[in-house]
Structure 1
């Protein structure tokens, strides 16, 4: 995918442009370069463009660049669209285009030197999106090691096989999978104590190869201590939020050290929580472990640690399993964090294909190679 340049063209209607732009974003996440094009007049009407590295915009003429089309003669309009739109006009690459290409080449070289360590808990809902991120990073030219617990790694029956993707494990203190029943706080405490040490050992081991040192750590929910390990070892890190962005907004509102609500509602949940641009969240809408009666409230200290760990980071980075248009209000509700929407992290056979495309021209559901 790294060598591919897709040209996506669409008519000017919102129902045409929106899905085409979403496809463009997915292709970018898959490591490709994309140019989105619509008519001259249509491009002028787009008020806000998605801004992504590798995504550029262009236009072509439909014969009516001022937007004034003859009334009552749709056949003439379509005929002109075909005639003018099909016209070939060679242009020399301008200086701006050449600079963008050189910048992309530099970024690609930079990605080739990166070794990402992605760690997650053992649940399928944790592993699947983390592996999808691993695949995207591989397509972007990076090297990736995916790691989960010793017992968890043994439970994975089929691993994605990609060049540059390797697997490893760290201990949670219960390598045989037998955890004490009825003492979840002890389990989480051991996970942090043993996990911190074995993750440190894993990073040291992976970095023994001078050419493949771990350069970035990505950790998922329930593993906030991983950020401390990364910081102690001088490695930048990011929290991969695999839940909805609204859930993260609630966690921050509850557990931030400035004006968090948890100490107020620890024993009695609020009637509702409000965020600008979102409907009120009733107590029944909150993540269930926040309720005093929940049997799972033992994870509260860990979620609280997540938020406060991010607060300690001078440049806290959070990768969101969503995209702007899907949860715009929830994204805006989160403050003081560097939020990067990269979702949806779902499997795609399209991105996994090894077929080579010289140029993909996509419009109106048609794929031409």
Structure 2
């Protein structure tokens, strides 16, 4: 029977993007691949299907077809989703069987721990796609396998650190925020725990990871009970083919075209982070005081005091504020010389893959350790220092921009960024480590020897 892969993902943009790119990589092996998330997620996908898209799409209902507010409804939504999801996905899989296109393997991402049980009940093999760095998987694995007390104890002594296999020493501020009681989303940790419990039911489970071998060689081999394989970076293939950029037209691209090489600071804090009015003002002040050109993505939800800030920026003639842009397209533009980022894993891998140094301003989840790796391991950026109130002052942002974009330190970071860009392209290219891992996964499923 020819393989038919079903790729399932949680309905958040940070989950959809890497899962969608993995699905397309998998489809590139010549097998049938169906991509599936909730009806709402399919309606708002930033990359609509094209006529030559190799994927099929199969949205399923979750009771929230008009969407939901994660901050206000997160716990209720996840509870409802965990009830509706298994029923909807089971029905979806059965419908494919009735149509003569049975699913032969299910791949699922974070916050969908119930998928493993659904697949087991239907007699279908499944595999997890970990969309954060391998280092974070290692941390959670040890946390849920006897190291929770020692990891949690770092909360009481911020200066102490822990050493886990395959990772550098980590302090409290460098661990995933969900681990600690101060985090605002305790229900997320519960879902991640369920995922690891599902993996524990398998003998040496396979986990596909949005990373590549050269980037996290030690972390990928650090958990002996799990077989991790790097299949990333999971970004659009056009930006991994050695081209400097993809030709498109938009107002912000036209603006970038008028700027000198490596002169523009790109600023974006992702789709979920919301900064205070004070923090937005400090960032604006720091950017303006730096004297550099900048492109700043400010979503409507982040726009506290935004009209005043935008008026000042417009008057300065040094910056452009937009509500959305194609991030990889911007990062790959020759005029961009630095990325001020929250260090979400998608943003981090995109920056690495196109060779742009970073100024890191992590907020929550895995962003803390991502920033640690960028600054201390891959040496492609610096981390902003917050004051006693947790605010990054304008002078600190200005200092970090100078460190990244000027002098010997900036030159060294650019060299390292170029190195990791080349390694990322090599991994994703024909015959590279990630390319081989995706093909090996598909072949094993086809031969029935993967599970």
TM range, smaller chain:
0.5 to 0.7
Deviation at 1:278, TM superposition (A): 2.6
Alignment correspondent of 1:265: 152
Check whether the contact 1:120–1:130 (CA below 8 A) recurs between aligned residues.
Answer: yes
- Aligned counterpart for 1:281 among listed residues 151, 159, 170: 170
TM-score, normalization: structure 2? 0.49
- Aligned counterpart for 1:206 among listed residues 96, 114, 136: 96
Alignment correspondent of 2:67: 177
- Aligned counterpart for 2:49 among listed residues 151, 159, 174: 159
Structure 2 matches for 1:234-253, cutoff 5 A?
Answer: 234-253=123-142
Check whether the contact 2:204–2:225 (CA below 8 A) recurs between aligned residues.
Answer: no
Alignment correspondent of 1:321: 210
Structure 2 matches for 1:57-96, cutoff 5 A?
Answer: none
Check whether the contact 1:237–1:317 (CA below 8 A) recurs between aligned residues.
Answer: no
CA distance in 2, matches of 1:133, 1:262: 35
Deviation at 1:319, TM superposition (A): 0.3
Check whether the contact 2:107–2:128 (CA below 8 A) recurs between aligned residues.
Answer: yes
- Aligned counterpart for 2:31 among listed residues 139, 142, 146: 142
Q: 1:189 to 1:350 in 2, by over 3 A?
A: closer
Alignment correspondent of 1:295: 184
CA distance in 1, matches of 2:119, 2:39: 20
- In the alignment, structure 2 segments of 5+ residues that lack a partner are 242-451
Check whether the contact 1:150–1:175 (CA below 8 A) recurs between aligned residues.
Answer: yes
CA distance in 1, matches of 2:156, 2:218: 23
Check whether the contact 2:220–2:229 (CA below 8 A) recurs between aligned residues.
Answer: no
Alignment correspondent of 1:116: 5
Check whether the contact 1:255–1:262 (CA below 8 A) recurs between aligned residues.
Answer: no
- In the alignment, structure 1 segments of 5+ residues that lack a partner are 1-109, 353-369
Deviation at 1:163, TM superposition (A): 5.6
CA distance in 1, matches of 2:198, 2:181: 24
CA distance in 2, matches of 1:229, 1:263: 34
SS in 1 for 2:59: strand
Q: 1:179 to 1:171 in 2, by over 3 A?
A: farther
Deviation at 1:209, TM superposition (A): 2.4
SS in 2 for 1:221: coil
CA distance in 2, matches of 1:176, 1:266: 41
CA distance in 2, matches of 1:285, 1:344: 22
Deviation at 1:268, TM superposition (A): 4.3
Which is further off, 136-145 or 311-320? 311-320
Alignment correspondent of 2:369: none
How many residues matched? 240
CA distance in 2, matches of 1:117, 1:145: 5
1:226 and 2:115 aligned: yes
Check whether the contact 1:266–1:292 (CA below 8 A) recurs between aligned residues.
Answer: no
Deviations 1:332-366 (A, max 9, x none): 222311212211112122789xxxxxxxxxxxxxx
Deviations 1:132-185 (A, max 9, x none): 111112111100110011111111252244464110112333222145864533
Superposition RMSD in Å: 2.7
Check whether the contact 1:142–1:164 (CA below 8 A) recurs between aligned residues.
Answer: no
Q: 1:141 to 1:350 in 2, by over 3 A?
A: farther
Between Structure 1 and Structure 2, the one with more helix by share is: 2
CA distance in 1, matches of 2:123, 2:204: 13
Check whether the contact 1:269–1:292 (CA below 8 A) recurs between aligned residues.
Answer: no
